[in-house]
Structure 1
């Protein structure tokens, strides 16, 4: 049976900290709904109604485009290893790019990365748990270093080129504002 909460409890925060994977869902008015798996050391719960997660440069940039249209976001964690629970956080998110004043302070909460593309500052409006009894067991074997190595090999100039050539629009053609003029 699903239970709803006004924010994260200590138990929820401990559950999130124990997970190696989470999912992010966003959507614009039209086009595709995006659900992305996220890992690495990229999420911090800052309070009962606030979390941040750092988005690293990748092949697409759907979340930024969707949030520019509608700032709603859902995050989900599944207990694959021990505890059979699904936890969802529903809320709104503010997109911060490296050019934004608040980005550096929040980015300092994470390990250094040339690939840091956005930080999403999420206001959590509701948390929901459900049983997760149908979720299979999966064992965590370790983190992949491929994305971090890719970003290190590209360096800051290569990352900027990738943003310009591959990350300015969603797959539905919506702007991501990754290259927006900070003085505009």
Structure 2
């Protein structure tokens, strides 16, 4: 059975920081598709305080999370142990999108490792923190991060990134608004 925690205690923080991958789930308010996105690069996740976390949102083929958060704010982040003792941690909460145009962006982006192709920072206020057994999660070995996303972003100049975001990140697959035109300009620096 799941155990509910009132905050991100030291044990949960250590578990989260040891994971190489995490999963983000969101859905539109009505109808549409539920979205689950795997996230790599362990230096793209940060615990801000006992109930608040954030992650670095990098260029991608879609904009579902941003669209869904702007629609209703609901988000779940899941970490699963693929090595060591079995465990699954889920962080449920309300998320918000912080773009480079927002005042707090510069402070937040410094919490993460250096990555090109930064679109935003997603900040989540947790209203439920739980962990469960994870007894059926398989053992898997971590070899190394795939650097392909960073390499792809490094090869694109400002105009190419702007065009890519305008084509792929303006709306979700269900037609919800994603990045506004002024938000498609790439950050001129790495995170």
TM-score by length of 2: 0.91
Q: Report SS of the residue matched to 1:159.
A: helix
Report what 2:125 is aligned to.
123
| C-alpha displacement of 1:178 | 3.9
Q: Distance in 2 between matches of 1:32 and 1:56?
A: 21
Q: Please, which of 140, 143, 147 is the counterpart of residue 141 of structure 1? A: 143
Q: Please, which of 38, 43, 46 is the counterpart of residue 44 of structure 1? A: 46
| C-alpha displacement of 1:117 | 0.5
Report which stretch shifted further, 132-141 or 169-178.
169-178
TM-score by length of 1: 0.94
Kept in 1: contact 2:63–2:179 (CA 8 A): no
Report what 1:89 is aligned to.
91
Report what 1:33 is aligned to.
34
Structure 2 gaps of 5+ residues are 184-191
Q: Distance in 2 between matches of 1:165 and 1:71?
A: 24
CA-based RMSD? 1.2
Report what 2:5 is aligned to.
5
